[in-house]
Structure 1
Amino acid sequence: MTLSLQSALFPGQVTHARLKPKEHRLSYRIYSLLLDLDELDALDKRLWLFSVDGFNLFSFRRKDRGDRSGSDLKGQVERSMRSAGIEPDGGPIRLLTMPRLLGWAFNPLSVFFCHGRDGALRAILWEVDNTFGERHGYMIPVVGQGDGGEIFQCCDKAFYVSPFMDMDLRYKFRVAAPGKHLSIRIDTFDADGLVLTARHLAKRRELTDMALLRAFLAIPFLTLRVVGGIHWEALKIWTKGVRLRARPHLPEEAVSFIRPPVAESVHSVRRIETNEPV
């Protein structure tokens, strides 16, 4: 009998709505994998079209995430949890990320959902990559949930991503741990209010070879499309007259640790400004 796995495929849609200094909107179809880090070896054996640390139509390499060393990825995330004041108990850690396609990948955002053995979500590691080959993470504890299990988090921006965005900004996250559906919303604020809203909506599919093949045929060469789309949208923003921002030095630490006493309550994070787009 084949055992059921927690890992899954999530085809969906990403949308951005920038409000200032110039309005700009985009929408792209994408798909991501939810990879339970304890299931990587089982996935490598079970699937013909997906490999771990090897070449295939779809693949994932442990060195793709974290400190890029290829060392125990779950151990790396658990060390970050401890640095943020969260003691891991060996519970599952599930990574939402785009796979390599024919050996190549680029992920603007990968998300580690860090659970306890009881299944409760205890922390989220938001791992951000920019097109300059740089990476930074935000490890944020889960301090409460709103209606429907939605989680609200926030942190100050510490890492340069878009050349059209200032550094003096604040992120507010609204997310539910992936189940039958995935919903992630990231609102970016400056001192005067909402600047940008990004949403990722997707629906769970069983991770099978047939599902992977259908995803590839629906959106061929996804990772190349992502990089091409980033540069195409940047060109359109530049033609609207938005000036470039200088790229600062990387943060000294690879991960920003938002410790539990500093984390805002669910109710305070839920107060989103009224000028946000619907």
Structure 2
Amino acid sequence: MEIVYLLCSILYNLVTTIILSLLLPFQALIRLRLRRSPPETHISLYEGTVYHQRRHPLNHSFQYPVRYALIDLQRAPSTNHLHLSAHQARQITHTNGPVLLLTIPPSVGYQQNPLSVYYCYHVQGTCTSLKKCIAEVTNTPWAERVSFIFNPHSDLVAKALHVSPFMDMLGSWNIKASDPGESLTVSISVHHPDLGNYFTASLIAKRLPSSSESDHAIFFWLMPHKVAVWIYWHAIKLWWKNVAFVQHPRYTVPTYREEALKRDKKLQCCGLSDEGGERGKEHGCCLGETSPKGRWFRWRDAKWPWS
């Protein structure tokens, strides 16, 4: 059933993409002639490269070009229902300053965003500093999502989503993100209790001049589609190389979300480390009343018929 749904979804998106792409030049021409679209000064454009490297059970790496938008949510004219508002992000992170969202906008009816990041700033006196980030991780093709807070300087977060059919749910994500300026970086490495640090994904991007692209619909044309093609293509290559297929945990461990919460609380309590690719050691701690308050997580369920 899932295979049939996937094929129907691909066919539907293909037809929608072709129709809306044919209309795109006319829409851009109308916007230009009528001058109804004011300059979107709340958006900065970034162009860069995503790198993936797998070291177990075999070496497999690739890279692809990407285009991202960095949106000032406070100045944005409207809130995208797919994402948090600036107010919601401040409440979650207990900050009081600007909130920026790094994401790939939808293009011609299609949305594909493996990772979006909220940069939440805190103002104290005359000083404004990046205090917390919120990650939104979405898996393909199920379109499930998990959002969580992390320390942008470096944080270890329990793996809370089945992001790939070629990875199990054990281990944690070591995630860090630089303060976006003329350039930005985001990196995530998977720390596994048995395999060590066996997978790394990173984004390195540079900000483009504000006058480089006036029509954002054209600038991001087919960007989500290209990301999806890379994901599916390299999934086929891993399958061809006989990398073991891991079934979605909802079929094998229905309580995987609760298990992730327990593992994350343990990480915060015990300060586990996977440095050097070795399994982290507990430091005589427990999950009793003295455990720290759990990290904020929020899941979005899969759409039918994945659920």
TM-score higher than 0.5 here? Answer: yes
| Matching residue of 2:192 | 190
Which digits, 9 at most, give the CA deviation of each residue in 1:9-41, with x for residues without a partner? 110000101000121111100110000101212
Q: Which has the higher strand share?
A: 1
| Matching residue of 1:48 | none
Change (3 A) 1:63 1:235: same
Q: C-alpha displacement at 1:206, in angstroms?
A: 3.6
Which digits, 9 at most, give the CA deviation of each residue in 1:171-211, with x for residues without a partner? 11232111111111211111231111111111012445x42
Which digits, 9 at most, give the CA deviation of each residue in 1:47-100, with x for residues without a partner? xxxxx6xxxxxxxx611224xxxxxx123223322xxxxx222x1110000011
Change (3 A) 1:212 1:163: farther
Q: C-alpha displacement at 1:108, in angstroms?
A: 0.5
| Matching residue of 1:147 | none
- Give the TM-score of the pair, scaled to structure 2: 0.65
- Larger Cα Rg: Structure 1 or Structure 2? 2
Instruction: Find 1:88's aligned residue among 81, 86, 95.
Output: 95
Aligned pair 1:138/2:144, yes or no? no
The answer to which structure, 1 or 2, has the higher relative contact order (CA under 8 A, 6+ apart) is: 1
| Matching residue of 2:114 | 108
Aligned pair 1:127/2:133, yes or no? no
Q: C-alpha displacement at 1:129, in angstroms?
A: 0.7
| Matching residue of 1:77 | 89
Q: Aligned residues: percent identity? A: 27
Q: Is the 8 A contact 2:51 2:64 kept in 1?
A: yes
Q: Distance in 1 between matches of 2:111 and 2:87?
A: 23
Which digits, 9 at most, give the CA deviation of each residue in 1:208-258, with x for residues without a partner? 5x42559946x75111111111111100000111111121238658x9797
| Matching residue of 2:9 | none
Any residues of structure 2 matched to 1:157-172 within 5 Å, and which?
157-172=159-174
Q: Distance in 2 between matches of 1:180 and 1:187?
A: 24
For structure 1, which runs of at least 5 residues remain unmatched after alignment?
A: 42-51, 53-60, 67-72, 82-86, 143-150
Secondary structure of the structure 2 residue equivalent to 1:100:
coil
Change (3 A) 1:156 1:138: same
| Matching residue of 2:13 | none
Secondary structure of the structure 2 residue equivalent to 1:79:
helix
Q: Is the 8 A contact 2:158 2:261 kept in 1?
A: no
Q: Is the 8 A contact 2:165 2:245 kept in 1?
A: yes
Secondary structure of the structure 1 residue equivalent to 2:213:
helix
- Give the TM-score of the pair, scaled to structure 1: 0.72
Q: CA RMSD in A?
A: 3.3
Q: Distance in 1 between matches of 2:56 and 2:99?
A: 36
| Matching residue of 1:58 | none
For structure 2, which runs of at least 5 residues remain unmatched after alignment?
A: 1-37, 279-307
Q: Is the 8 A contact 2:101 2:116 kept in 1?
A: yes
AA partner of residue 95 (structure 1): L
Q: Distance in 2 between matches of 1:242 and 1:3?
A: 48
Q: Distance in 2 between matches of 1:256 and 1:5?
A: 39
Q: Distance in 2 between matches of 1:4 and 1:103?
A: 20
Which digits, 9 at most, give the CA deviation of each residue in 1:149-176, with x for residues without a partner? xx11221101111010110021112321
Aligned pair 1:14/2:50, yes or no? yes
Q: Distance in 2 between matches of 1:100 and 1:220?
A: 9
Instruction: Find 1:63's aligned residue among 61, 81, 98.
Output: 81
Change (3 A) 1:163 1:274: closer
| Matching residue of 2:175 | 173
Change (3 A) 1:17 1:212: farther
Secondary structure of the structure 2 residue equivalent to 1:107:
coil
AA partner of residue 101 (structure 1): S
| Matching residue of 1:226 | 227
Any residues of structure 2 matched to 1:43-58 within 5 Å, and which?
none
